[in-house]
C-alpha cells in the first residue's frame, strides 16, 4: 500500500491532560516498565493542553493490550491502539478507505471518528468523516452511528494519519471528547455535570439499583441530583443556590426547604421562573413526611455544626456525592463531618479542585484524610473533569 506502514510493534496513542502528564507517565511505567513513551504536545484551545503519548511495545500479545485497556489508569483520558500509520501530506480517500478495509469486516457495525490535530486543511474533520463514511457504505460496509460494535479513529496529526480501532465493549466508557467541538460549545452546565457523575458511576462500577437514598452536597444547578434521581434514588440536595427545577421536575415530586430570611423570596422566584411546575416550598424547621418527595432541596449552606438538626428526620444515606468549589482539604473535611449520616459501606463520589499545581500534595492530602473513615479509595481524572479529579471511597462505619 502506498506510503502505508502496518504496525509491527504494538503502538498506542495515549491522551492525557497536560496537568497530569507526569502522573500518567508514572502509572503507565508501573504496568509497562519496558515501554517507550514519546510525548507529543497539542494545544487544541486556549483553556486546555492535551498531550499525546505515543507508546511502543515490542510484545504485541493480547495480554499486553488487555493490561493497558483494563488497568483503569487514574490519569489517562483515552487509549487508542494504532493499526496503521499513513505518511500522507494530502487526504487521499482511496488510500484511507483501503486502510480501514484492512481493519474491519463488512459484517461489522462501525462508526467513524475523525480528528484533526496540528494540520491545516481546507476540509473540516466532519466533512472528511462524512465523505469516508459514505464511500465505505457504498462499498458495502455497515455504518451504525447509534450502536456500533467497532469505532474507527482517524487522527490527522501534522503529515501523518494514524488509524486505530476500539471494540465498543472494551472501552465503552471512554470517548475522545477533548477533540469533539460539540462538547466545547453550547452545552449547558447542568448537562456537563450529568456527564461527570455518569462517567464516575461507570468507571467506579456502581450498581445504582442497590442504592435507595443519596445526599448531594454542592448540588446546584442539579445535574448530579437529576441523574441519580433518574436512576431511581431518592435524593437530598444541599445548596444555597436554586436548582434548575424545570430540568429536574420530569415526573419528580420536589420539595424545597429554606429559612425565614429566604422563604418568601424563594416562593416568589420559583413561581415566576417555573410557572406551571409543582414545587413545594416549606420552612426548613417543619416536620414533614419526606417520603412523599423524590427530590428534597435543602436551600442552605452546609453547616457542619448544625448538620444533625438538618438531617435528623432522614434515614441513613447509601450514597454521598460532593461537588463543591473548595480545596481538597476543605472537601475532605466536609465529607468526614458527614459520616454519621451514612450507612456502613455507603459510597462516596467527590470531585476535588486543583487549587495549586502540586497535584501529588492534593492526592496525598485526600487519601490521608479520607482513610480515617473510608476504604477502597480510588482516584480518576474523568473525561469531563476540567481543573479537578474525582474520588471514590466506601464508608467503613467507624463513626457508628
The average pLDDT across 384-400 equals 83
Nearest-angstrom CA–CA distance, 9 and 58: 5
The average pLDDT across 180-203 equals 65
Residue 93: give its domain's CATH number. Answer: 3.30.2130.30
Distances (CA, A) of 65 to 28, 156, 170: 13, 23, 11
Same domain, yes or no: 218 and 364: yes
Confidence of residue 362 (pLDDT cuts 50, 70, 90): confident
Confidence of residue 311 (pLDDT cuts 50, 70, 90): confident
Same domain, yes or no: 171 and 204: no
In the predicted structure, residue 152 carries a pLDDT above the cut 70: yes
In a domain, 254, yes or no: yes
In a domain, 400, yes or no: no
Confidence of residue 214 (pLDDT cuts 50, 70, 90): very high
Same domain, yes or no: 259 and 193: yes
Same domain, yes or no: 207 and 225: yes
Residue 233: give its domain's CATH number. Answer: 3.40.50.150
Same domain, yes or no: 335 and 270: yes
Q: What is the pLDDT of residue 183?
A: 39
Same domain, yes or no: 311 and 388: yes
Q: What is the pLDDT of residue 180?
A: 47
**Predicted confidence (pLDDT) per residue in 93-149, tens digit:** 999 999 999 999 999 999 998 888 766 777 888 899 999 999 999 999 999 888 888
Q: What is the pLDDT of residue 377?
A: 94
Distances (CA, A) of 177 to 16, 50, 384, 386: 12, 11, 8, 12
End residue of a domain, out of 164, 183, 202: 183
In a domain, 136, yes or no: yes
The 3-state DSSP class for residue 352 equals: strand
The average pLDDT across 277-281 equals 78
- Report percent pLDDT > 70 for the chain: 80
**Predicted confidence (pLDDT) per residue in 4-33, tens digit:** 554 456 788 888 877 788 888 888 888 888
Same domain, yes or no: 172 and 199: no
**Domain span holding position 9:** 4-183
In the predicted structure, residue 60 carries a pLDDT above the cut 60: no
Closest CA to 307 of 340, 266, 259, 350: 340
Same domain, yes or no: 48 and 173: yes
In a domain, 131, yes or no: yes
End residue of a domain, out of 183, 210, 244: 183
Same domain, yes or no: 374 and 262: yes
Same domain, yes or no: 116 and 197: no
Strands (E), 158-240: 160-167, 213-217, 234-238
Our count of domains for the chain comes to 2
- Report percent pLDDT > 90 for the chain: 32
In sequence order, the β-bridge partners of residue 255 are: 280, 296
Amino acid at each position: 500500500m502506498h506510503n502505508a506502514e502496518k504496525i509491527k510493534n504494538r503502538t498506542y496513542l495515549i491522551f492525557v491532560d497536560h496537568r497530569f502528564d507526569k502522573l500518567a507517565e508514572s502509572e503507565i511505567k508501573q504496568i509497562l516498565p519496558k515501554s517507550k513513551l514519546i510525548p507529543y504536545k497539542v494545544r487544541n484551545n486556549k483553556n486546555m493542553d492535551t498531550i499525546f503519548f505515543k507508546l511502543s511495545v515490542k510484545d504485541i500479545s493480547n495480554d499486553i493490550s488487555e493490561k493497558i485497556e483494563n488497568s483503569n489508569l487514574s490519569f489517562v483520558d483515552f487509549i487508542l491502539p494504532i493499526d496503521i500509520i499513513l505518511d500522507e501530506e494530502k487526504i487521499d480517500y482511496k488510500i484511507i478507505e483501503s486502510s480501514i478495509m484492512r481493519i474491519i469486516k463488512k459484517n461489522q457495525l462501525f462508526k467513524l471518528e475523525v480528528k484533526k490535530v496540528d494540520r491545516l486543511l481546507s476540509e473540516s474533520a466532519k466533512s472528511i468523516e462524512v465523505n469516508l463514511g459514505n464511500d465505505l457504505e457504498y462499498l458495502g460496509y455497515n455504518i451504525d452511528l447509534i450502536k456500533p460494535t467497532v469505532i474507527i479513529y482517524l487522527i490527522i496529526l501534522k503529515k501523518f494519519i494514524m488509524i486505530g480501532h476500539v471494540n465498543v465493549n472494551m472501552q465503552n466508557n471512554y470517548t475522545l471528547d477533548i477533540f469533539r467541538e460539540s462538547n466545547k460549545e453550547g452545552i449547558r452546565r447542568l448537562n456537563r455535570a450529568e456527564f461527570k457523575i455518569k462517567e464516575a458511576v461507570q468507571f467506579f462500577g456502581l450498581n445504582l439499583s442497590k442504592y435507595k437514598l443519596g445526599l448531594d452536597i454542592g448540588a446546584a444547578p442539579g445535574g448530579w441530583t437529576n441523574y441519580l434521581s433518574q436512576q431511581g434514588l431518592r435524593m437530598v440536595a444541599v445548596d444555597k443556590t436554586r436548582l434548575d427545577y424545570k430540568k429536574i421536575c420530569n415526573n419528580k415530586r420536589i420539595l424545597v426547604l429554606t429559612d425565614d430570611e429566604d422563604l418568601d423570596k424563594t416562593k416568589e422566584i420559583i413561581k415566576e421562573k417555573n410557572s406551571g411546575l409543582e414545587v413545594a416550598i416549606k420552612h426548613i424547621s417543619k416536620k414533614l413526611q419526606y417520603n412523599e418527595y423524590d427530590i428534597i432541596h435543602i436551600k442552605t449552606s452546609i453547616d457542619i455544626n448544625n448538620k444533625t438538626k438538618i438531617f435528623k428526620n432522614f434515614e441513613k444515606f447509601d450514597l454521598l456525592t460532593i461537588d463543591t468549589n473548595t480545596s481538597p482539604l476543605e472537601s475532605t473535611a466536609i465529607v468526614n463531618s458527614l459520616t454519621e449520616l451514612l450507612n456502613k459501606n455507603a459510597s462516596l463520589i467527590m470531585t476535588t479542585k486543583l487549587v495549586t499545581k502540586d497535584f501529588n500534595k492534593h492526592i496525598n492530602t485526600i487519601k490521608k484524610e479520607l482513610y480515617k473513615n473510608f476504604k477502597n479509595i480510588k482516584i480518576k481524572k474523568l473525561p469531563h473533569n476540567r481543573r479537578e479529579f474525582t474520588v471514590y471511597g466506601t464508608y467503613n462505619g467507624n463513626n457508628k
